[in-house]
Structure 1
Amino acid sequence: MARVSTALLYFLPGAGSFAPHVLLEATGMEHELVRVVRDDDGRPVEPQAYLALNPSGRIPTLIWPDGTVQTESAAISLALAEHAGRHALAPAPADPARPAFLSRLVFLTNTVQVAILRARYPQRFADGDEARAVVVAHAQAELAVLRERCAAWYAETPFARGDEPGVDDVFLGMLIRWTRLTAEPWWDEPALGAFYDRFHALAAVQAAREQEGFEIRPPAGT
């Protein structure tokens, strides 16, 4: 794709684009937001060329200033931190903290995010009301276990690696808001609720949230 004058983030408020949006603000990369519009079935209809950029139709997509197109929220977030050389956000490859950091980030996107989606959108995973109810029940049971694992990250420190937030914290902060769509929002867990408040007090998070215009704790199920 041709070079663009600034990074372009295709987004929906509070969706998987929120973590990359926070990273754009945190790293100071000049960027513009392009809102994606979906139809009632969740298919993107605006911009019309969105599927050419991201054939899966999912949010987000980032176009880098050199024209490179990147998809997948966790991958974009990590790339933004590394491009900026911000080791507080993502440990350098030789840093002993790197393996655990990567494990947390991939755990969040591969395990926690998928469990939330199964609990909220069982129709994507099974046909028929009875089968979907089983999917939801299994997902809710898994989320209860996953919640405790994530809460343990904040038992002794404000953020997962200490006093400074990283990409893993940003990704979890995004996902915690998604759990409002499940039976037990994670902000009700004391350690995660306190972390969630610290997360939303960060300047980059406040800036991204104000631009996207959503509530920190919307009513459950909305």
Structure 2
Amino acid sequence: MRFFDSKGSGGSCVRATLAVIGAPVEIIEIENQESETQKDWFLAINPRGEVPTLVLDDGSVLTESAATLLCLANMHPEADIAPALSSSAHFQMIRWLNFAAVNLYEGYLRRDFPEHYTTGDPEPVRAATRDHLDRHWEVMNEISSTGPWFMGRQFSVLDIYLWMLVQWEADDEHMRKHFPRIANIAQKVKTLPAIKPVHEYHFGSLT
């Protein structure tokens, strides 16, 4: 496999999942995402010109971080990073992974790149995201298990995805005060031996 990644991007959760699985993969780090991903060589791989992009051994291409996590979990059942296929718990994991992708991932994009969502003043777009993010974090916090992971005893790719989103929030105090279950999950994920180096590459030292 070949994996195209960039610091701070949605590639963090995919790279972390690859690390947990321990699958052989060539990692290509894109330092200037806006420039390099628009070049012809990259557009030939992913016409959207975005990371993360994962090229599987058969040459097929996976994009969209949440979808890629689900594919990796299904490709590597031995890694035990998802509830059993066709189980109710698996369906719920898919449900909440998609909920987070649609409402939280997209919310952080609107916060950080509001100019992409309007032809007018971007500041009202940015300002509106605080309430949007909090409302959807509240849902995730309330529905999550009391622990140790979102799905209860089963560690899953959903926990890895939430870890990434909490790093994008970048306000640990806000998360701990208002969404303690989610903050606790993210704290545990980033200290896992396989994920710690990924965290440090994407988001800096744990200390």
TM-score (norm 1): 0.82
Quote the residue 1:149 is aligned against. 139
User: Contact 2:167/2:203 (CA < 8 Å) preserved in 1?
Assistant: no
1:199 to 184, 189, 201: 189
Cα distance in 2 for partners of 1:25, 1:49 equals 26
Q: Does 1:214 align with 2:197?
A: no
Cα distance in 1 for partners of 2:37, 2:97 equals 30
Q: SS in structure 2 opposite 1:203?
A: coil
Quote the residue 2:41 is aligned against. 49
| C-alpha deviation, 1:193, in angstroms | 2.5
Moved more, 147-156 or 170-179: 147-156
User: Contact 1:200/1:216 (CA < 8 Å) preserved in 2?
Assistant: no
2:160 to 146, 152, 170: 170
Quote the residue 1:62 is aligned against. 54
Letter in 1 for 2:147: T
| C-alpha deviation, 1:213, in angstroms | 5.5
User: Contact 1:37/1:45 (CA < 8 Å) preserved in 2?
Assistant: no
Cα distance in 2 for partners of 1:62, 1:45 equals 13
Quote the residue 1:136 is aligned against. 126
Identity of aligned residues (%): 26
Q: How many residues align?
A: 205
Unaligned runs of 5+ in 1: 1-6
More helix by share: 2
Q: Does 1:119 align with 2:150?
A: no
| C-alpha deviation, 1:150, in angstroms | 2.0
| C-alpha deviation, 1:166, in angstroms | 0.5
Q: SS in structure 2 opposite 1:160?
A: coil
Aligned-residue RMSD, C-alpha: 2.5
1:140-169 alpha-carbon deviations (Å, 9 max, x no partner) = 111111121222244511211113321111
Cα distance in 1 for partners of 2:40, 2:205 equals 31
Q: SS in structure 2 opposite 1:163?
A: coil
| C-alpha deviation, 1:216, in angstroms | 5.5
Cα distance in 2 for partners of 1:108, 1:11 equals 21
Cα distance in 1 for partners of 2:205, 2:168 equals 11
Cα distance in 1 for partners of 2:85, 2:115 equals 40
Question: Residues 87 and 25 from structure 1, CA distance in 2 versus in 1: closer, same or farther, beyond 3 angstroms?
Answer: closer
Question: Residues 204 and 95 from structure 1, CA distance in 2 versus in 1: closer, same or farther, beyond 3 angstroms?
Answer: same
